[in-house]
């Protein structure tokens, strides 16, 4: 298993990766980090990490490497590309990808890694950037048992909840199922609150009713009161990312011949919100978008 004497590579220091890498350093792991932007590298170096100048340098310096990347395209280039991790890592190394990507790319990751004698793990992240900052992420892990045990100490340094979903590829597929429900609920909640506003109902009283019936859901009960219903649409998980994930979900479903008509309708609404310039806002801002669409007052819970 990963030890604090081992040098760990970490590539991708965006909103999620930076917080998780920081927690690894704070909890005693030796990290060498790389990102296309210098600022997060500098921040990690101040915490005690070492900076790499390239992906190849990370691969040659580390026996276990973590990637947190935006899309499958970056995973393909950085992990499986001509001068990527697989091309430069030593046999016996392990690559753990935490990105939310299409299952086909994840499957290629495992197949190519096996062919090169490199262990692979897919462990997409649950929860939001502020959870990553606090070391409270959730991970859905697809890996062989021995590889899961090897990465478990690192996952425990970055998160509080770890699910070993099965063999390679199951982590990515579990994440898509989870995000399907989480994102669809945003659209359903947005429509319900738009109806509430149009009817002129008291929002707090309506929510009391909803939360006492089977209509309740985590987005509306836990997330939204702290975000859009409080007037805060600063991004935790953006509308752009939700749209990206819905596209991944629909692509994976189509490949498996599973019709998702609700997902198709919801994605078009997220597309419309992006067209209004709201792509960078938190995905709970779909509540504002729907009310703007019908020219109703935006839903807000009164303080106190």
Say which CATH number the domain at 74 has.
Answer: 3.40.50.720
Sequence-ordered strand ranges (E) for 68-222 = 94-97, 119-122, 125-126, 137-142, 159-166
* 303 belongs to a structural domain: no
Q: Residue 57 has what DSSP assignment?
A: H
Write out pLDDT tens, residues 222-233: 999 999 999 999
Catalytic machinery residues: 175
Quick check: 10 pLDDT over 80? yes
Decide if 267 is inside a domain.
yes
Of the candidates 235, 227, 44, 217, the one whose C-alpha atom is nearest the C-alpha of residue 128 is 235
Which residues are CB-contacts of 223 (< 8 A; sequence separation ≥ 6)?
284
Angle at 277 between CA 273 and CA 279, to 5 degrees: 65
Whether residue 158 is found in the same domain as residue 37: yes
- The neighbour count for residue 196, using CB atoms within 10 Å, is 19
- Domain coverage including residue 124: 7-166
Residue 13 has pLDDT above 80, yes or no: yes
Identify any residues that bridge with 163 across adjacent strands, giving them in sequence order: 140
Domain termination site, one of 166, 189, 217:
166
- Number of domains within the chain: 2
Are the C-beta atoms of residues 11 and 67 closer than 8 Å to each other? yes
Q: What is the CATH number of the domain that holds 252?
A: 1.10.1040.10
Same domain, 184 and 248: yes
140, 166, 192 — which closes off a domain? 166
Confidence of residue 5 (pLDDT cuts 50, 70, 90): confident
* 137 and 233 part of one domain: no
Out of 99-108, 122-131, 267-276, pick the least confident.
122-131
In this prediction, what percent of the chain has a pLDDT beyond 90?
Answer: 95
List pLDDT tens digits, range 178-230: 999 999 999 999 999 999 999 999 999 999 999 999 999 999 999 999 999 99
Cα–Cα distance between 33 and 45 in angstroms, integer? 8
Q: How many CB atoms lie within 10 A of CB 19?
A: 21
Instruction: Please check the confidence at residue 248 and state whether its pLDDT lies above 90.
Output: yes
In a domain, 1, yes or no: no
Q: Does residue 231 fall inside a structural domain?
A: yes
Confidence band for 279, pLDDT divided at 50, 70 and 90: very high
Tell whether 34 and 132 lie within a shared domain.
Answer: yes
pLDDT confidence of residue 304: 66
Q: What is the pLDDT of residue 128?
A: 86
């Amino acid at each position: 298993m990963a030890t604090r004497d081992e040098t760990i590579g970490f590539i991708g220091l965006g909103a999620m990766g930076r917080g998780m890498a920081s927690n690894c350093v704070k909890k005693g792991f030796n990290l060498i980090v790389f990102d296309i932007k210098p600022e997060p590298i500098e921040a990690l170096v101040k915490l005690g990490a070492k900076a790499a100048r390239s992906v190849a340098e990370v691969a040659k310096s580390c026996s276990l490497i973590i990637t947190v990347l935006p899309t499958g395209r970056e995973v393909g280039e950085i992990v499986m590309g001509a001068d990527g991790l697989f091309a430069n890592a030593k046999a016996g190394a392990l690559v753990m990808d935490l990105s939310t990507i299409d299952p086909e790319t994840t499957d290629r990751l495992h197949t190519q890694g096996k062919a090169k004698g490199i262990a692979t793990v897919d462990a997409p992240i649950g929860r939001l950037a502020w959870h990553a900052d606090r070391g409270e992420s959730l991970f859905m892990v697809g890996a062989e048992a021995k590889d899961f045990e090897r990465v478990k100490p690192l996952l425990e340094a970055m998160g509080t909840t770890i699910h070993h979903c099965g063999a390679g590829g199951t982590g990515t597929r579990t994440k898509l199922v989870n995000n399907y429900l989480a994102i669809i609920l945003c659209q359903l909640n947005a429509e319900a609150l738009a109806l509430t506003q149009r009817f002129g109902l008291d929002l707090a009283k309506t929510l009391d009713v909803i939360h006492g019936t089977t209509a309740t859901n985590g987005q509306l009960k836990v997330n939204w009161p702290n975000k859009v219903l409080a007037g805060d649409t600063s991004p935790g998980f953006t509308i752009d990312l939700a749209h990206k994930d819905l596209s991944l979900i629909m692509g994976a479903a189509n490949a498996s011949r599973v019709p998702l008509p609700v997902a198709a309708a919801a994605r078009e609404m997220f597309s419309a919100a992006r067209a209004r310039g709201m792509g960078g806002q938190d995905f709970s801002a779909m509540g504002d978008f729907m009310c703007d669409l019908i020219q109703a007052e935006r839903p807000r819970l009164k303080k106190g």
